[in-house]
Amino acid sequence: MNESINLGKLMDIIFIISSIIFNILVSILYVATKFDNMELVRVIGIIILFLIIPFTITLIGYIKEKEEKKIIISLVVILFYFFVEILLDYILVIPFRDILALHIPYIIVFYAADFSMIGVTFDKNKKMGFVVLVTLFVLLGCLIYRYIG
């Protein structure tokens, strides 16, 4: 039983840290895009994609822990976002952000994943939920900054 509690706490920590890192990296990516630093955008984009590893680990850990369905579904939504990102940016390599019919569904999947991160974090630790929420506001601020001026 004690081992099970430790595994659950470890999964929570991995998940929360990964969520914070995700939002901070996307924020940096938006600012780098504004300054047309495409090399930094490329590097940050690849680092973001590597977050698929800790999110997959937490999904597996939560399944082993028989976590609530809403948590599992949230992790599936997050991983679905990563697969969409990989498909559009690295496999198909199409300018989907310039194609409204593709960009809108992508944005919906992105925010569904981000709100899933917030929801799971609040479920696991209320204080850290606010930290992840603040990083989302930073991300939104950077997105607005990207398009201003």
At residue 149, does pLDDT exceed 90? Answer: no
User: Each residue of 17-32: pLDDT tens digit?
Assistant: 999 999 999 999 999 9
User: Each residue of 81-119: pLDDT tens digit?
Assistant: 999 999 999 999 999 999 999 999 999 999 999 999 999
Interval 31-54 mean pLDDT = 97
User: Each residue of 59-77: pLDDT tens digit?
Assistant: 999 999 999 999 999 999 9
Q: Binning pLDDT at 50, 70 and 90, where does residue 6 land?
A: confident
The total number of structural domains in the chain stands at: 1
Distance CA(16)–CA(102), nearest Å, equals 29
Residue 46 φ then ψ, to 5°: -70, -40
In terms of Cα–Cα distance, which of 88, 87, 108, 81 is closest to 18? 81
Q: Binning pLDDT at 50, 70 and 90, where does residue 79 land?
A: very high
Segments forming the whole domain that contains residue 35: 2-147
Q: State the average pLDDT for the chain.
A: 95
In terms of Cα–Cα distance, which of 95, 120, 96 is closest to 107? 96
At residue 4, does pLDDT exceed 60? Answer: no
pLDDT at res. 141: 98
Q: What angle do CA 59, 79, 123 make, to 5 degrees?
A: 55
C-alpha distances out from residue 2 to 11, 59, 87, 89, 113, Å: 14, 20, 40, 43, 31
3-state secondary structure of 92: coil
